Amino acid sequence: MGQIRAKTLAESNRAEIATIYDVNPIVNPPTKVAQSASEIINDPSIDAVFTCTPNYLIPELCIKSLRAGKHVFSEKPPALNAKQLVEVIKAEKESNGLKLMYGFNHRHHESIIRMKEIVGSGDMGRILWMRGRYGKEVDESFLNGWRADPQLSGGGIFLDQGIHMLDLFLHLGGDFDQAHSFVSNLYWKIEGVEDNVFAIYKNSLSGVCASLHSTMTQWRYLFSLEVFLEKGALILNGLKTSSGVYGDEVLTIKKNLPKDKSGQFEQDETFTYKSDSSWLSEINHFFDCIEKEVPINYGSSSDALKLMRLVDKTYK
């Protein structure tokens, strides 16, 4: 992720990468290499810090960066639980207007932007329910990485990948106050690292429900987000990524229209997105908010706290 962020920063022409740090040796570094994360955080010449680390390090590094007077862009998850995130938000509030943004990259995909516009316009009525499936396969090499250690990762596939789908539920449908779930590790059998989560969320006031399945025993890569409204449905299959394993993003807009003269329903509208501009969109949003001194709209700490409270309920 650090390499992806660095590449995108260079493409944006909106920042200079001053210093990088990794616990492992960096081959052919593109810029100065620090001896520690603290060296970067405490450098008075640096304006912003990008935190691209294993999950357990994220809250502490964000707090230290904010207290050192740096704007912060951090990978997800924002913390291992909501309690940790509250401490980060405290540091943000004490930072005199510094920006803190979390990398919930999926909000910046063109298909999601289009879905958000349609939902926001009200043209298709209010959301009735949503369903999201996000799955991949892993092999035995997964057991050798930090994600297989609950002390470092804080959880399994849900905290690693399913959290993106839950964030999209919140992005499109608002908050949820109820969560019911089944969390299992039937295949990989790693204590504290689930390989499947089946969850249902409900907003008691609006009645909106959302169903989520997050898995790493899919045995194929799958991204599917369905939003059903009063006047039709938005069906998204596929997600454009650098690896290409999820395919193109294919968004189908189905409106509840009357039959035509032949007695057939009018055809659905389908849009295919074959390129991914989400990384650059995300970086530009971060810099726009800094330069214009406006609040973070996508990936704010308040978004993150709402999300982590639901994550806690799901695991509970």
2-105 architecture in CATH? 3-Layer(aba) Sandwich (3.40)
β-strand partners of 134:
214, 223
- Is pLDDT above 80 for 277? yes
β-strand partners of 176:
none
pLDDT digits (tens, 9 = 90+) for 137-163: 999 999 999 999 999 999 999 999 999
pLDDT digits (tens, 9 = 90+) for 223-244: 999 999 999 999 999 999 988 9
CATH 3.30.360.10 fits 110-239+241-275, yes or no: yes
- Is pLDDT above 90 for 52? yes
Instruction: Locate 112 and state its tokens.
Output: 């999601």
- Answer whether 3's CB lies under 8 Å from 17's CB: no
Q: Mention every residue, 6+ apart, whose C-beta is less than 8 A from residue 191.
A: 150, 185
Residue 270 CA from chain centroid, whole number: 25
For the whole model, what pTM was predicted? 0.95
Instruction: Locate 5 and state its tokens.
Output: 């962020």
d(CA 124, CA 228): 9
In the chain, which segments carry CATH 3.30.360.10? 110-239+241-275
pLDDT digits (tens, 9 = 90+) for 165-202: 999 999 999 999 999 999 999 999 999 999 999 999 99
d(CA 161, CA 152): 15
Closest CA to 58 of 94, 5, 102: 102
Backbone angles phi, psi at 177, to 5 degrees: -115, -5
| Mean per-residue pLDDT of the chain | 95
Q: Mention every residue, 6+ apart, whose C-beta is less than 8 A from residue 177.
A: 202, 203, 204
pLDDT digits (tens, 9 = 90+) for 296-315: 999 999 999 999 999 999 99
CB atoms within 10 A of CB 228: 16
Burial class, 122, CB count within 10 angstroms (exposed 0-12 / middle 13-18 / buried 19+): exposed
Backbone angles phi, psi at 66, to 5 degrees: -65, -45
In the chain, which segments carry CATH 3.40.50.720? 2-105
Q: 201's torsion region: left (phi>0), alpha (psi -120 to 50) or beta?
A: beta
Q: What is the pLDDT of residue 47?
A: 98
pLDDT > 90: what percent of the chain? 95
Q: What is the pLDDT of residue 257?
A: 76
The beta strand positions in the chain, using DSSP E, are 19-20, 32-33, 48-51, 71-74, 100-102, 127-137, 178-184, 196-202, 209-215, 217-229, 232-237, 249-255, 269-273
pLDDT digits (tens, 9 = 90+) for 63-110: 999 999 999 999 999 999 999 999 999 999 999 999 999 999 999 999
Q: What is the pLDDT of residue 261?
A: 59
